[in-house]
Chains A and B, each alone.
Chain A
């Protein structure tokens, strides 16, 4: 970390149990929720000082000599490495391809860093590489550079992958939460909670058989189809860690709008609903790897929805809510019974519960 200007100021916290009372990283810091946000804002960004980004987005749009590029990086830490419907290799490609797609860019080139744990089987590495290659070919992207390191046994889940990617952002496309205005329609490209349940179904202590395969898929083509209707979409987000709830909250806070979601309109496959009921999880907080949520100007909503449904990865697309002027920064759901509840930013990891 940079040691020039602002070192993390442990005393400037507003909350009374500041970071200094929790001196070690906990799993929740990787959950994509409030704890992750804290870590970034209070430790990482101050460390970066003047080199820090102006805004925190999944992919950054930068200009280089007149060309508008989307640039993104992501790291993949998943256990098990191979799960129903995919593997860490698929995630590594599609995760970054999708981050770029959320800026409107078609991913062109990827880099790929592998961190391998000493003792992992070579055959496993081979299978991961094959999966990576297949996913890259499906997404139409090339891996042009990479790196490989090995860490001592006990220091990794077998394989960790980090990918970065670049792609060109088409003219007239400006996808940022700040563009959201009250009245925007919220669309989701299909059923949620699928990837998270597929992974949970293979985790050792929670194993169950589910007819659920990860939805891991590259969304560049779907986004292109949507932009073909109008380049003037407002924001796209792929709801990975923290699920739909995390993405909607991030957009609500960054845009200063409120978001209303109709619970019954959110598509959830029966097997996902069953698994979530069994474990006490809320599908709105479960990870997805092949879905996007879009805030679209009201006048274009019908046409964009139709374009999504016409695309294989958007067949289950649905309108789930809207941006509103009320309760800025807050996501509120209308329950099936007509009541309301706030859908908060997830805390850390979603844990199965008994209550």
Chain B
């Protein structure tokens, strides 16, 4: 239900009283409605669904996620599961949200 693709904003303009952006999807450029992300800036990325930008993509967050994947297995080999250790140190089980 959610074919939404990351795209980079190339330019922003008003058309018919509507905030629109030209967005680059890796070499393909399309007009996208920016009314739901009016403060999206040129150079930023957003996910776009049926011609509408619905949410900005947070680069810092993306990098952290990839780092998490890269550290999987590695840390565990050397040090064991960091979450286990923290839990043991804290004397209790961690809940899901904290682990984010």
Contact = CB atoms under 8 A, between A and B. Distances in A.
Interface of A: 197, 201, 208-212, 269-275, 277-278, 280, 353-355
Contacts of B49: 354
Contacts of A271: 26-28
Interface stretch (B1-9, B38-46, B64-72): B1-9
Given A210-B29, A269-B27, A277 B50 contact: no
B30 A355 contact: no
Contacts of B50: 354
A114 B26 CA distance: 39
Contact of A274 (B1, B2, B3, B28): B28
Nearest to B1: A355
B25 interface: yes
A207 to B, nearest CB: 8
A211 B25 CA distance: 11
11 contacts: A208-B28, A208-B30, A209-B28, A209-B29, A211-B28, A212-B28, A270-B27, A273-B27, A275-B27, A278-B25, A355-B3
A273 B6 CA distance: 13
A280 B3 contact: yes
Interface in B3-38: 3, 5, 7, 25-30
Nearest to B2: A355
A210 B29 CA distance: 6
B8 to A, nearest CB: 11
Contacts of A280: 3
A280 B5 CA distance: 9
Given A354-B49, A354-B50, A275 B3 contact: no
A300 B25 CA distance: 40
Contacts of A272: 27
Contacts of B3: 280, 353-355
A23 B25 CA distance: 41
A211 B28 CA distance: 7
Contact of A278 (B1, B2, B28): B28
A326 B27 CA distance: 39
A355 B1 CA distance: 4
A102 B30 CA distance: 37
Given A272-B27, A278-B5, 8 more contacts: A197-B28, A201-B28, A209-B30, A210-B28, A212-B27, A273-B27, A354-B3, A355-B2
A278 B24 CA distance: 10
B6 to A, nearest CB: 9
Nearest to A279: B3
Contacts of A353: 3
Contacts of A269: 27
A89 to B, nearest CB: 26
Given A277-B5, A354-B1, A210 B26 contact: no
A211 B27 CA distance: 6
Contacts of B2: 355
Nearest to B29: A209
A211 B24 CA distance: 11
A275 B1 contact: no
Contacts of B27: 210-212, 269-275
Give the interface centre of A208, A212, A274, A355 by most chain B CB atoms within 10 Å: A274
A281 to B, nearest CB: 10
Residue among A210, A212, A280 with most chain B CB within 10 A? A210
B1 A208 contact: no
A149 B4 CA distance: 46
Q: Which A-B residue pairs are the 6 nearest by beta carbons? A: A271-B27, A274-B26, A208-B30, A209-B29, A274-B25, A274-B28
A333 B48 CA distance: 29
A273 B26 contact: yes
Nearest to B48: A278
A267 to B, nearest CB: 15
